[in-house]
Amino acid sequence: INWKATARKNGLMVNNYTDERSQQIYCIINKGRVMKMPFQGMYLLDYAINASLVLSSVAMARQDKAGLITFAENLDAFLQADKKPTQINLILETLYNQKTLFLEPDFEKLFSVIRNRITQRSLLVLFTNFESIESLQRELPSLQRIAKYHLLLVVIFENTELKHVQESKAISLEDIYIKTIAEKFSYEKRLMVKELHKNGILSILTTPENLTIGIINKYLEVKNRMSI
């Protein structure tokens, strides 16, 4: 209630606060080879699909427009961001019908699609995985080009199996060797986050099982900062 205005007008006056204009949120799912890695009976691709559906629902509940892109060696699906009542069903149907041969993804083609078809600055949540810092650096030029026009958030998965190896006690020489390799891979994942940050790209490093809650929290953080 605006008490000053109420006193002036001799009647109850209320301030109306409206959220910022609808922003566009695109979930972009890499359906390539790196998303075939299994965790607890599901592929990384399955985790990405589930998280995309939940994120789209939350975004639309916050009056944002939700869209979807899936790709591998070629563009597979493109659903323009919208907040119409039927949009979540279209996203669900598109995700349900996803098929893949887990081939090598083409990030340059992805950039071309985004540049040509998404004209408004948007939050792009890219569900992918990089196995080494070298594999990230190969795709970094394409990611930098995307980030020039949009707010890009890259999802990188922690390997929970490697975490178990790191936490286990090394007894034999072989155990020590395996543990050292596991620590190297874990270190490289953290290095990827730093590399992306250095290039103005947001990222989230998460275990598959914590993906959905992690990505929702990151979206709300970005939304609250009005960073898009």
pLDDT band at 108 (very low <50, low <70, confident <90, very high): very high
Reported as a pLDDT band with limits 50, 70 and 90, residue 7 is low
Q: Report phi then psi at 20, rounded to 5.
A: -60, 160
Number of structural domains the chain divides into: 1
pLDDT of residue 168: 62
State the average pLDDT over residues 6-32.
69
Does some domain include residue 16? Answer: no
Total-model pTM: 0.84
- Pick from 27-36, 127-136, 184-193, 202-211: least confident: 184-193
Report which of residues 109 and 8 the model is more confident about.
109
Give yes or no for residue 188 having a pLDDT over 60: yes
Residue 20 clears pLDDT 60, i.e. is over it: no
Q: What percent of the chain has a predicted confidence (pLDDT) above 70? A: 80
Looking at the domain assignment, is residue 11 inside a domain? no
Q: Tell me the mean pLDDT in the region 146-153.
A: 98
Report whether pLDDT(3) > 80.
Answer: no
Q: How many angstroms separate the CA atoms of 117 and 97, rounded?
A: 22
Q: Is residue 217 part of a domain?
A: yes
- Domain assignment present for residue 5? The answer is no
With respect to residue 114, please indicate whether it lies within any of the assigned structural domains. yes
Confidence of residue 36 (pLDDT cuts 50, 70, 90): very high
* Domain contains 164: yes
Q: Give the pLDDT mean for 77-85.
A: 97
**Rounded-to-integer distance, Cα 134 and Cα 20, Å:** 39
Region 56-67: mean pLDDT is 97
CATH number at residue 116: 3.40.50.410
Task: Look at 99 and 126; give whichever has higher pLDDT.
Answer: 126
| Residue 109: domain span | 22-225
Q: With a cut of 90, say whether residue 74 has pLDDT above it.
A: yes
The mean per-residue pLDDT over the stretch 148-177 comes to: 74
Please work out, in degrees rounded to the nearest 5, the angle formed at the alpha carbon of residue 206 by the alpha carbons of 201 and 212: 100
